[in-house]
Chain A
Amino acid sequence: MYSADIRQPLVTAGKTYSDVTADVCRPIENKPTNSWWLGFSIGVLLLLLLVVTLAWTVWEGIGVWNTNKSVMWGWDITNFVFWVGIGHAGTLISAVLLLFRQKWRMSINRSAEAMTIFAVFCAAIFPLFHMGRVWLGFWPLPLPNALGSLWVNFNSPLLWDVFAISTYLSVSLVFWYLGLIPDIATVRDRATSKARKFWYGFFAMGWNGSAKSWGRYEVVALILAGISTPLVLSVHTIVSMDFATSVIPGWHTTIFPPYFVAGAIFSGFGMVLTLLLIARYVMNYQDYITTQHLEAMTKVILLTGSVVGLAYITEFVIAAYSGYEYEQYAFANRMFGPYAWAYWTMMFCNLMAPQVFWSKWARTTPWFIFIISIVVNIGMWFERFVIIVTSLHRDFLPSSWVMYHATWVEVGIFLGTFGLFFTCFFLFAKFLPVINMSEIKTIIKDKE
């Protein structure tokens, strides 16, 4: 009934409802493929690296990193912002695109949300372990003190972070789980083993697709989407305030919130693309994740990439125009100072590289998109590195100017978080439907 032959179908090869079910449930019900095992074991190895490096840090003290009296934040917070940024695409795709009734989101939102959650896990590691006394990591929570008044500081952006990140994580989880319930029910009803029957039954919460429930379900999903959108924006806004509210030249910048949010979406979509393109091949989902999806996402990348680039130029112009020598120096130093290589890497990856998506070919050629998506991820990591390190290593008093280079421990922790991320993702791909069946089924007859 909703047919209009202008557009490509969102799901190709004329799949029926049961085809969808079968296709999506296949990885769950069958033995994992070799490629899955390969990816998973790499993930686990890196995860071990994470465990080792973190243990070493806690045992010896943060001194095993190379942060120093002037550059007190290095790779740790860079990675934190990096991962939080990546964690933005998922909720954004599901929420914002849901609000905009973008049906093409349906085949990717599930994995995007999963990615969000795992990325936030990774992000959470850094603010925790960059503490000198990680075993007191719960102190920023507003807990009463047995020996009388002792509370937290509501002026501190770090405290805002605590609230923002934890809220974001839990709301994303809820949103994700809500979306999973009908599909879990489907898997439950196909279950052939007691264990699976039990567990999927347990998490399906007795869902039986009654029209009443569907009615409420859709409303709830819509509202969750509605509140998640400002949430997503607020999270990176608050993260950006860690820097924007400080006095350090290069940090103390009012355009940070929008600039960071754009960057987050940018990096998030980069990572989504990377993962989907992998999944697409590993699990043969070409019919569900069509070039149309890819193209839509590359357009978003092109847009946000340009926004970010604009931000870079803006903040530089403002600095130059400010007439404030410290600010001017901070930015001149970024461009020509000892960390210039990082700055120009960032400029290339985030501003120049995405511009190729003006061409249709680039937008529709998976292997090429894959490369660019990697480039984008690299670029966004460097953006955070540039902001944090180059601002700190030469601030007001030249007497305290220093250089900073990471140790193997810091690098190890960063690589390790990828281990955590991929381990989680591969487990997800094995045990949960990576494509939202119930939603896909609503559109398999549609053209859009």
Chain B
Amino acid sequence: MSSNKYWKGTEELEQTQEFVTSNANEFSEGLPLDKVFSNDDSTRANRRDFLKYFGFGLGAVTLAACNKAPIKKAIPYTEKPDNVTPGVPLYYASSSVSNSEGFPVLVKVREGRPIKFEPNKEATYFGGGLDGLGHSALLSLYDTNRLKGAMVAGKRKPQVWKDFDKEIIKALNKVKASGKSVAIVTDGSTSLLTKQAIADFSAKYSNTEVVSYEPISYSGITRANQTSFGKAIIPAYNFDKAEVIVSFGADFLGTWISPIKFHSDYSRNRVPKNGKMSKHYQFESLMSLTGSNADVRVPMKMSNVGQHLIALYRELGGATPHKGMEVAGNNIKTVAAELKAAGNKGLVVCGSNDEADHLLVNAINMMLGGYGTTIDTTNYYMGQSADEKSFLSFISKAKSGAYGAVITLGANPVYSHPDAEKALGNIPVRISTSITMNETSNNATHIATDLHPLESWDIKQPYKGRFIFSQPTISPVFEGRQASSSLATWAGADVSEKNELSHSYNYAKQVFTSEVGGDFNKAIEMGVVENTSADSMPSFNITGGSAADALSTRKGADKELVLYQKVGVRDGAYGNTPWAHEMPDPVTKVTWDNYLTISMPDAKADGLENGDIVKLTVATGSIQLPVLVQPGQTKSTYGIALGYGRVLPEDVQNDLKDLGQNAYPLVSMKAGFADYTLGNVQIEKVVDAARHEFGITQTHYSIEGRDIIREASLEEYNDDNKAGSYVHKPKAISLWDDYDYSKGHHWAMAIDLNSCTGCSACIVSCSIENNVPIVGRDEVRRRREMHWLRIDRYYSFEAPTEKDLSLSIVHGGDQTVTAGEHMTQEKVMEAYSEASEDQDTAYDYYQHVKVAHQPMMCQHCDNAPCETVCPVLATTHSSEGLNQMTYNRCIGTKYCGNNCPYKVRRFNWFRYNENEKFDYHFSNDLGKMVINPDVTVRSRGVMEKCSFCVQRIQSTKLTAKRENRKMKSDEFTTACAQTCPSNAIVFGDLNDKTSEIAKLYANDRSYHVLEELGVKPSVQYMTKIRNKKAPLTKKAH
């Protein structure tokens, strides 16, 4: 080889010190990353830096590309929108989709996709929570059945809006010419835009009539208030100001008026503070969520509510000639006494829809002086104020052919009103604005497809003077147009975009200035504006005595049917919401089903069992449903949930397809108001029908006298704050020193069984946050629901006492009360009853039932049994006390699941995504947009479970790190804790002594479930305190 030495540059030739050192490195100059990452803008990258970054970036991308990405197609931003950083969520204030009257929320948006609702903590008045349906309704945005644009009957393809509008306007003018009138049927929406648009529209078409229609009517209240105070309103109820709450069949925590707000108000007084907590009496016929939380729950026939009210009125000293049946005897006496004592801190509410009942309720509240404190008639509630009287007249006029055209805005009367279909059929031009095909749009002539609320601008006013703003959080997915704009167009306005601002934006701004006033952008940012006025005692212009007149003659029917709403489904407006249907009903724990609830005494009398198909007949019609025996239900009352039996588009091919029967046709309109209580019920068992199998997540309702939920009465608690924890605790001995979690963070959770009402919002929130698959009815039947968080619901009975029972169990059942083959208190109790002489009353105690709810998720035990047994270390503990699942290491032996004392681990029995068998939202491109990119979609054959929302912990840590500070433990919280309307769940860092969790851990009420196992759970429960005198606590054994 040649001996020539070639050198590049004199430095090398001379071998200067700099050269030698720098030549050792790959780049002769280091990457100036520090400069880049410092926010110093003055640094300007030169060409070579650019090349380095480019090379570095390329390398990084290549490396990143090495592992399989879940998303197949990813299109990069050609032009990055301002303030959208991939991987960083944005939050927009908006209004909940499921509440037509409006409810403040934040919408979490990732890369332009709304993926979750979170409560808007700015809106303190509404309480920082959300409900299950509210969360679930998000899927309506990603519903594959959404209409793709303006539709005309008989044509499958969407129309061009211009031609469509021409056609409509022509039709409307024809109607005007013909002298007939145009009807606009609105839902209970409090949208100011719609209001404005309708005004504009009626200005153009003077022949317009506006009818507002709601499937669920509260006209009883509005009419009563009209009579009592001259204001046809639903007042605002302040449960937080009430110390004694008496509810007559009003499920105010579940479905009545505005339950989420009521939740947070109610729960404020449910945790004993210096010896006091609110007292809650519930008189009801079905077992409602509210009833399950009452301190004293009295079974009552709904048709007897009037009699109860009269009795109460008299007890309170009201003058009335009428006696009122001695239905509830002592209960009413005690209630009256307590209410008297509470004075204007007492609140009486009633769930019936009868003016007379509510007149008397008003009288009672007046007597207590609750107006101005517990009841606010000034800043009243504005939603759901539709009165069926107007709709009934609309129907009759329609039948007589008075209308030439009808426009249904959001409302879906054909589904929920028996006569609507015929009446509307009588109107030649039927325009609907629904975003998916529903019963009404099915027989509409035109569909001016609306935008989804998350694609629209809007201003709503759920309470007088309280405004909620929604803004588009995603650009329209399909060719829809906001209904207000449609109306405006037909009124002749030009709705084309002006300098990139949509018509509805300008519209909203205009309405804002006229109706609200102030800084528009600030309002949009905050999402709520409040300009309320001070409340005052209204003048009451009717006496309770005369109010009682109407009621005095009422006699309770012998057998009656009560039509109610379910917490998960409500009025049924959102039929296609798998999350809501998979959410177990808080009380019955049934998923995916509609059924007839009957009381145990009736079941025994008629020889009915769960799943038997029965035909129920009332004056308004008959219906066939499976039977569900419901403890706590009043004898000879029957319950059916509304909101089922929706007609969904053909291509819905899963369990949503056949969801129960539509019970709306049974609602009676005879008395001039929608009556949800019907007498003269005939029940007959359909013998040839096959027994229906429910998908129930909890089939065993007795707690078997185990020390899992601890209870105490307020009295006991005041004597000893440790009341309820008398159970003997073995001293925990360990073979070795436990791991030391005192460094860094130690995550833990506390759940207050007093505040928890079991509303199940957390379940849905958790499922959405963590991409928990929906498995459908059949898999739930096989007991394979995937919920990471479940709420256990236990019943207990006054008699026979639990103690006898638990003893008789342990000794294999003593002879008088043989447990039968099944060895459970449930069976023992049935045996008791079967043994009793008087069979008519033998099962009556099933009406008097105590309920306890207990959220149960992975307890993140410090000594986790699941970790020890995993052969491949797929589940291990983090130094911060988290029990972690490593999905891609898991081989699915399921040993961990078996060894979990709390049975909270869930196994992927099938591949739930990309699988037409489980086609809910994981399997179609649109539905997948809702998947949370921060959480893995689990593959088939791996175990999964609650992770304490580790993704949130990590992102918060990173933010803190970027801002280089220590993260605070109250900086974030888990999805369940965040959404809980009653703040029952608290999450935080035990090592942060100032944190709320640390305080709760020190609380005397706190205990661990199954602590004697020595697994050291990181989830802690707080003894449930019932506001009672009677001793509740189990003595040590």
Contact = CB atoms under 8 A, between A and B. Distances in A.
Q: Do A and B touch each other in the complex, judged by CB within 8 A?
A: yes
Interface of A: 60-63, 66-70, 72-73, 127, 130-133, 136-137, 139-140, 150-153, 155-159, 162, 242, 245-248, 325-326, 328-329, 332-333, 335-338, 340, 392, 395-402
A328 B822 CA distance: 15
Given A69-B785, A72-B907, A136-B891, A329 B809 contact: yes
B328 interface: no
Contact of B898 (A72, A139, A401): A72
B872 A153 contact: yes
Contacts of A133: 890-892, 939-942
19 contacts: A62-B941, A72-B898, A130-B893, A131-B941, A132-B893, A133-B891, A152-B871, A153-B868, A246-B865, A247-B865, A247-B1013, A335-B812, A336-B812, A337-B821, A338-B821, A396-B903, A397-B792, A398-B824, A401-B699
B465 to A, nearest CB: 45
A63 B909 contact: yes
A139 B894 contact: no
Contact of B782 (A68, A136, A399): A68
B542 to A, nearest CB: 49
B823 A332 contact: yes
B886 to A, nearest CB: 9
B605 interface: no
Given A246-B865, A332-B809, A392-B898, A398 B908 contact: no
A152 B821 contact: no
Interface string B892-930: 111101110111011111110000000000000000000
Given A72-B898, A247-B865, A398 B871 contact: no
Contacts of A69: 783-785, 897, 903, 905-907
Interface stretch (B146-154, B263-271, B546-554, B703-711): B703-711
B910 A402 contact: no
A399 to B, nearest CB: 4
Nearest to B811: A332
Given A397-B708, A398-B704, A337 B822 contact: yes
Interface in B1012-1032: 1013, 1015
Given A61-B940, A133-B891, A336-B821, A398 B703 contact: yes
A155 B868 CA distance: 6
Contacts of B699: 401-402
Contact of B897 (A66, A72, A155, A162): A72
B925 to A, nearest CB: 23
B910 A60 contact: yes
Contact of B871 (A61, A62, A153, A337): A153
A338 B823 CA distance: 8
Given A61-B909, A62-B909, A399-B698, A245 B869 contact: yes
A131 B893 contact: yes
B784 A68 contact: yes
B894 A73 contact: yes
Contacts of A396: 706, 708, 901-903, 1010
A268 B824 CA distance: 37
B898 A329 contact: no
B520 to A, nearest CB: 50
Given A68-B782, A153-B873, A335-B812, A400 B903 contact: yes
B702 interface: yes
B826 to A, nearest CB: 10
Nearest to A331: B812
Q: Is the interface of A mostly helix, strand, loop or mixed?
A: loop
A62 B892 contact: yes
A395 B894 contact: no
A132 B706 contact: no
A313 to B, nearest CB: 15
Interface string B933-946: 00000011111000
Interface string B778-791: 01001111000010
B681 interface: no
A242 B871 CA distance: 11
B444 to A, nearest CB: 42
Contacts of A340: 821
Interface in B999-1013: 1009-1010, 1013
Nearest to A399: B792
Given A68-B783, A340-B821, A398-B704, A132 B898 contact: no
A397 B821 contact: no
A329 B810 contact: yes
Interface string B837-880: 00000000000000000101000000001001111110000000
B961 interface: no
Nearest to A62: B909
Contact of B889 (A150, A337, A399): A150
Interface of B: 698-700, 702-706, 708, 779, 782-785, 790, 792-794, 806, 809-813, 819, 821-824, 854, 856, 865, 868-873, 889-895, 897-899, 901-903, 905-911, 939-943, 1009-1010, 1013, 1015
A152 B892 CA distance: 14
Given A398-B704, A399-B698, A246 B891 contact: no
A139 B779 CA distance: 29
Contact of A132 (B868, B905, B941): B941
Nearest to A341: B821
B898 A246 contact: yes
A247 B889 CA distance: 24
A327 to B, nearest CB: 10
A402 B822 contact: no
B204 to A, nearest CB: 59
B891 to A, nearest CB: 5
A130 B892 CA distance: 8
Contacts of B706: 325-326, 396, 398
B681 to A, nearest CB: 33
Contacts of B792: 397, 399
B932 to A, nearest CB: 23
A66 B869 CA distance: 23
Nearest to B1009: A397
Contacts of A400: 698, 902-903
**A-B residue pairs, 10 tightest by C-beta:** A132-B892, A132-B941, A63-B909, A399-B792, A400-B903, A72-B894, A68-B783, A158-B871, A133-B941, A63-B910
Contacts of B790: 399
B906 A399 contact: no
Nearest to A58: B941
A158 B894 CA distance: 11
Contact of B891 (A70, A132, A395): A132
A67 B893 CA distance: 12
A332 B785 CA distance: 29
B8 to A, nearest CB: 39
A256 to B, nearest CB: 15
B67 to A, nearest CB: 10
The CB with the most chain A CB atoms within 10 A, among B865, B890, B902, B909, is that of: B909
Given A68-B782, A131-B892, A336-B821, A247 B899 contact: yes
B901 A139 contact: no
Contacts of A335: 812
Contacts of B705: 325
Contacts of A329: 704, 809-810, 823
A151 B876 CA distance: 12
Contact of A61 (B869, B902, B911, B1009): B911
B355 to A, nearest CB: 43
Contacts of B779: 63
Contacts of A132: 890-894, 907-908, 940-943
Nearest to A323: B1037
A331 to B, nearest CB: 9
Contacts of A72: 894-895, 897-898, 907
Nearest to A339: B821
B870 A156 contact: yes
Contacts of B702: 398
B783 A246 contact: no
B856 A397 contact: yes
